[in-house]
Structure 1
Amino acid sequence: MKYFLALFEKNNISKFSAIFLGIIFLFSCKGEQPQLGNDYSEDIRLNQIGYYPNAIKKAVIVDHTGSSDFSLVDAITKEVVFEGSLSDAKEWDLAGERIRVADFTSFSQAGSYHLYIKNFGLSYPFQIANHVLKPVFLGSVKALYYQRVSSALDEAHAGIWKRALGHPDDSVLYHPSSGRSSGFTSSPGGWYDAGDYNKYIVNASFPLGQLMLLQEQYPNTIADATLNIPESGNGLSDYLDELRYEINWTLSMQDEDGGLFHKLTAKNFEGMVMPDAATSQRYIVGKGTVASLDFVASSAMAYRTFLNVDPPFAEKCLEAAKRAYVWAQENPNMAYENPEDISTGEYGDKNFDDEWFWATAELFLSTSDTSYFNILEKYPVDFYFKTGESWTGYMKFLGMFSLLEHKEKLPNDYYAKLKKGILEQADFLVDKSTNLDYFQAIDDFQWGSNSDVLNAAMIVAYAYRLNRNPEYLTTVQQAMDYILGTNAVGYSFVTGFGQKSPMFIHHRQSAADGIVDPVPGLLSGGPNSRQQDTSEGVLYPENAAPMKSWVDVEGSFASNEICLNWNAPLTYILGFLENESN
């Protein structure tokens, strides 16, 4: 009955109709059909959105009843359409569970289904269909619109998540750490970085790099007038329109000498209020080599991204990238640290090798200037993926991916070295995912672990572009299964998608807007065994296993915040799958 009451809640049918449908359903379950019960089982973990027909399809079952068989039930006809046996039970320390696996890969008929297990009940509903993940993909991109700074979100484009303009950023003071002792500037636009209201060059450039990589590889994935944003209908892809909104802000953060200011923030994080109520003075803070190099890379990519649709804008981006690179060469070791009076996100880094590699690679590809390649060859290439490195170390992979996209510009031996390294790392990640309980390729759960799952999947996805090994595609698909419900907490981690998704993300608008549902399309950070927010009163399950160190609590910035650099690989992997799985 809970399923039909959910229909009432989500689809605005009358409660009487929902109960009536439920009664009909229960009376129809007779004869050889299973007794389905009234509730979804929290112990059947699967992709709550669904599976591509030809994909691997597996659910993970928490074993505590001795049931050994499962069946698929058509959600419309209530007929059993497939039956199978569960795998042997196995204990897993990462999740602190004894689990079995239901494998229904061989069933590929399009439709809506539940998985049913005696003594458990029904799984959440899911679909099998071509383009099954397209709504989540588009939702992950539309989420960027909801993060826009210096813009009101009107009802025509934002629906119930409409809001007033916040942070015009037209009178931003220079903090002394910027190298300016006085004055103010205008630096509007861009996207709010995370659950807070600040803007950071490092964590704008890194996500832009991942998002533009998707555009370079699959340029026709999102057409004009697809996302319902203010620019829809202007003749340019909505995807490019949204990217340009962020790029324009990064361009405004370049100093006259070519270097990049590190961030634009208030001195402290604002409270959980709407953007227009967060009125603390904002500052241009810091300046450094890492921000400048990341800007070089994303701006050089922007040149290639926009060259055929807006040449003047593309040239502007490339010239800005060149100027920032010269500044970085003149200031190669300027590390950023928060000044004493600034407590917002630091995004600091002490090792600049990956930023130099990425920036130099993108400039070489955009200019074909061999002097950049001569510099590039001097940097050692490390193919090892390390959890938790994210914006401090993953840039090396973005550089490799871009270089491998342009085989014609590389010497054969250099291309072969990159290809070999990516394939070997992908093989390592495939092997790891095959031998873990929820088929994800990581076994260390740190801050933003969901982005680690997806960043690892990006490496495997690129390997698939190099070598159409079906194991690579399966690993990427199962990474998305993990994100969308096949995980130890049984949540789809993307707001607004799936029957059980986060409702209390650490996100100021979602907390303050008075709307029950959070802003959709945002990825929760995921399990974090370090639990850095317990000192702030966040309570996790007692003795939580690493994969269960997550709570759907507004205050849990360590496990349930959202962030641009988590949404970007989500968008990339969803876009990759929509292009490669159908």
Structure 2
Amino acid sequence: MISRLFVLCLLLASLFQCASTEDILPPGMGEEEMASDRIRLNQMGIYPNSTLRFSIIAWEGTTDTLPDGQPAPVAEEPAAWYVTAEEGKVIIADGQVGELMDWSELGGVKAWYVETPAPAEGSYRIYVPGVGYSHEFDVREGVYRKALLGSMHSNYLQRMSIDLPEEFAGPYARKAGHPDTRVKFHPSSGRTGYTSSPGGWYDAGDYGKYVLNASFPLAQYLTLREDAGLQIREGDLQVPERTNGVEDYLDELRYELDWLLTMQDRDGGMFHKLTTLNFDKMIMPEETTEQRYIIGKSTEATLNFAAAAAQASRVWTDVDDKYAATLLKASIRAYTWAVENPEMGFTNPEDVTTGQYGDTDWSSERAFAAAELYITTGEEKYLDAFMADYPGDPFRAGGGWKTFMGQMALFTLTRFPDGVPAEVYDRAKADILTTADSLVAEAERLPFHQPISVFNWGSNSDVLNAAMLVATANRLDPKPEYRDMIQASVDYVLGHNAVGYSYVTGFGDRTPMFIHHRPSIADDVAEPFPGFLSGGPNPKQQDAAWATYPARAAPMQSWTDQEGSYASNEICLNWNAPLTYVLGYLEALNNR
């Protein structure tokens, strides 16, 4: 509720000061004073007319140490909270703390959870007597604009085979790494000799390029373009193509698409990946010397490429019709090969240890490719193929790209209702809305109103993929609870969570500093590359030999800001893509 005291202050502001605030608040928050880690909230901010969420953590009785390893303070039971402005000197809103909620089994925390309407535009802090002040947060239009651009610019920082000059990369400028102009065919590829396959983005914290995990995130980026229109225009990104007459968003996506086209074999199938036999050391890209290989050829990679290329062909039709035609031709050739080779799965050869990205069930990939080709071409055979593999697996945390591609197919079919038979459209819409409603219900019962209660490798991307699905539901049937859940998901990744970090490097007051990302580790810049989403809590802790987790960490606390933590603190293309989508979708929604 808005404080009655604040309303009175507004009425009398020209005549009097509200001196009674001094009886409640300390003198204010000086520059040297640290924000209390016990107050968790979105560290960037929220939109006007939205909901402000924050939690007050009760450490005592739930853990012996804080996430940073320091002894836990004795928990005081707070009675009230205040939204303050002007460095904590003016009360804007207040309220009473409610019931202490026990999420210790899941989140490792007991906490008081608070929701209140967002104040007017401005900069604020939460103050809780006996606890302290929160991080500062903004309430304003365009509050995620910089983070949106940063998340997209991170792809430029992952570009291979070219120099990244200071003009476009700032302090993260570096020399070209991995020209990939003389790549050797591994025996698993079915070819011999050498080929050229330059360009593209590094996949994650390693220096590999993977066809499946290039195609899937590209499709998510393209989905934002189709769902929300033009969000990143020419000149918005610091990229070399920023004055070529094409929106920077598509310029960046094309850099990856151009590389993917080089990975198509003469028969239409897609080689699975381009990597060294083993992961490179923690050195800069230009310092690597190991031979790189084209490794494997697979149904899953080929179907993913067919889907992304068909979707990209639609998007490029009005931008570059020749390029659109090239993409569509490559998509059809890939799909045809996959139909003729329906079970050519990929597993790493004995001499290869880089990322596998394999699958054993290709139904979601087939549905994904068929749906995109049907919408792009209108040919009934693709619709028939889609219906034969209609996605029956709703969203589930941990499914990742293996199952979410089926959801992506449904998103596409419901985006073009005039081109889809009514019974197919109605079924797909109903399935999306049913899943979205279940995700909203799940979020409402969970500690930080995130939509997942199971945490796996890349759990933060699960949160954002769920938000992406709910965004599609909101497009089909706009509801306040859908929009609210999308916002709650962004709140979660930006600081309203069990570890008190904004998981996006460079965006927030407390962000990861030691991500598992070779250039960030090997360069001479203290801060990691900005705009990357850390993977998030992962109780399996596959990296426990190289990273130290909080003592007795519950699932939502199973994250550590250490370079060795590839299981919780790495970055990856298919984690950043839904981050860009959700930020871009919210920005578009709030600009309407």
Residue 438 of structure 1 deviates from its aligned partner by 0.6
How many residues matched? 553
Listed as ranges, the matches of 1:437-456 within 5 Å are 437-456=447-466
TM-score, structure 1 as length reference = 0.93
2: distance between equivalents of 1:246 and 1:393? 23
Match of 2:44 in 1: 49
Residue 32 of structure 1 deviates from its aligned partner by 5.0
Match of 1:145 in 2: 156
| AA in 2 matched with 1:96 | G
Whether 1:186 and 2:196 are equivalent positions in the alignment is: yes
Deviations 1:269-322 (A, max 9, x none): 001110001221000000010110000000001100100010000000000001
Match of 2:174 in 1: 163
Query: Which of residues 43, 60, 78 in structure 1 aligns to 2:55?
Result: 60
Match of 1:257 in 2: 267
| AA in 1 matched with 2:76 | T
Query: Which of residues 48, 64, 83 in structure 2 aligns to 1:72?
Result: 83
Whether 1:384 and 2:379 are equivalent positions in the alignment is: no
Whether 1:581 and 2:587 are equivalent positions in the alignment is: no
After TM superposition, the structure 1 stretch with the greater mean CA deviation from structure 2, 340-349 or 83-92, is 83-92
2: distance between equivalents of 1:49 and 1:412? 42
Deviations 1:148-201 (A, max 9, x none): 011111000001000000000000000000001x21000000000000000000
Residue 355 of structure 1 deviates from its aligned partner by 0.3
Match of 1:548 in 2: 557
Residue 396 of structure 1 deviates from its aligned partner by 0.4
After TM superposition, the structure 1 stretch with the greater mean CA deviation from structure 2, 191-200 or 214-223, is 214-223
| AA in 1 matched with 2:489 | A
Deviations 1:357-383 (A, max 9, x none): 000010111111112112222223315
Match of 2:530 in 1: 520
1: distance between equivalents of 2:283 and 2:220? 30
1: distance between equivalents of 2:546 and 2:312? 43
CA contact (8 A) 1:84 1:103 kept: no
1: distance between equivalents of 2:88 and 2:208? 50
Match of 1:98 in 2: 110
CA contact (8 A) 1:36 1:122 kept: no
Q: Moved runs in structure 1, 4+ residues, more than 6 A?
A: none
Residue 77 of structure 1 deviates from its aligned partner by 7.3
Residue 29 of structure 1 deviates from its aligned partner by 8.9
Deviations 1:499-542 (A, max 9, x none): 000000000000011101100000000000111111x2311111
Percent identity over paired residues:
47
CA contact (8 A) 1:433 1:439 kept: yes
CA contact (8 A) 2:280 2:288 kept: yes
1: distance between equivalents of 2:496 and 2:229? 30
| Structure 2: 5+ residue stretches without partners | 1-19, 59-74
2: distance between equivalents of 1:302 and 1:460? 23
CA contact (8 A) 1:55 1:581 kept: no
Deviations 1:392-444 (A, max 9, x none): 11100111101110111111111100000100000000000000001001001
CA contact (8 A) 1:173 1:184 kept: yes
1: distance between equivalents of 2:248 and 2:97? 44
Query: Which of residues 249, 253, 258 in structure 2 aligns to 1:243?
Result: 253
Deviations 1:108-146 (A, max 9, x none): 310011100011111011100011011111100000000
Whether 1:39 and 2:48 are equivalent positions in the alignment is: no
Match of 1:88 in 2: 99
Residue 33 of structure 1 deviates from its aligned partner by 3.5
2: distance between equivalents of 1:133 and 1:457? 16
SS in 2 for 1:58: strand
2: distance between equivalents of 1:383 and 1:102? 34
Match of 1:11 in 2: none
2: distance between equivalents of 1:224 and 1:142? 13
CA contact (8 A) 2:182 2:196 kept: yes
| AA in 1 matched with 2:113 | V
Match of 1:231 in 2: 241
- Going from structure 1 to structure 2, the CA distance change for 1:296 and 1:143 (only over 3 Å counts) comes to same
Residue 102 of structure 1 deviates from its aligned partner by 2.5
Match of 2:566 in 1: 557
2: distance between equivalents of 1:87 and 1:209? 43
Residue 97 of structure 1 deviates from its aligned partner by 1.4
| AA in 2 matched with 1:158 | A
1: distance between equivalents of 2:262 and 2:323? 13
Match of 1:15 in 2: none
Residue 35 of structure 1 deviates from its aligned partner by 4.5
Match of 2:419 in 1: 409
CA contact (8 A) 1:173 1:185 kept: yes
CA RMSD, Structure 1 to Structure 2 (Å) = 1.4
SS in 2 for 1:57: strand
| AA in 1 matched with 2:466 | A
| AA in 1 matched with 2:50 | A
1: distance between equivalents of 2:587 and 2:26? 34
2: distance between equivalents of 1:247 and 1:537? 35
CA contact (8 A) 2:155 2:201 kept: yes
CA contact (8 A) 1:86 1:103 kept: no
Residue 455 of structure 1 deviates from its aligned partner by 0.6
SS in 1 for 2:336: helix
After TM superposition, the structure 1 stretch with the greater mean CA deviation from structure 2, 186-195 or 38-47, is 38-47
1: distance between equivalents of 2:250 and 2:135? 35
Query: Which of residues 547, 554, 568 in structure 2 aligns to 1:538?
Result: 547
- Going from structure 1 to structure 2, the CA distance change for 1:469 and 1:383 (only over 3 Å counts) comes to farther
2: distance between equivalents of 1:518 and 1:129? 27
2: distance between equivalents of 1:357 and 1:456? 19
SS in 1 for 2:106: coil
TM-score, structure 2 as length reference = 0.92
2: distance between equivalents of 1:562 and 1:29? 45
Residue 448 of structure 1 deviates from its aligned partner by 0.3
1: distance between equivalents of 2:227 and 2:101? 40
Query: Which of residues 272, 280, 286 in structure 1 aligns to 2:282?
Result: 272
Query: Which of residues 398, 403, 411 in structure 2 aligns to 1:393?
Result: 403
2: distance between equivalents of 1:234 and 1:564? 25
| AA in 2 matched with 1:384 | P
2: distance between equivalents of 1:138 and 1:86? 37
SS in 1 for 2:304: helix
Residue 75 of structure 1 deviates from its aligned partner by 3.6
Whether 1:177 and 2:188 are equivalent positions in the alignment is: yes
| AA in 1 matched with 2:111 | I
Match of 1:314 in 2: 324
Deviations 1:321-354 (A, max 9, x none): 0111111111111000100000000000000000
Match of 2:68 in 1: none
Match of 1:570 in 2: 579
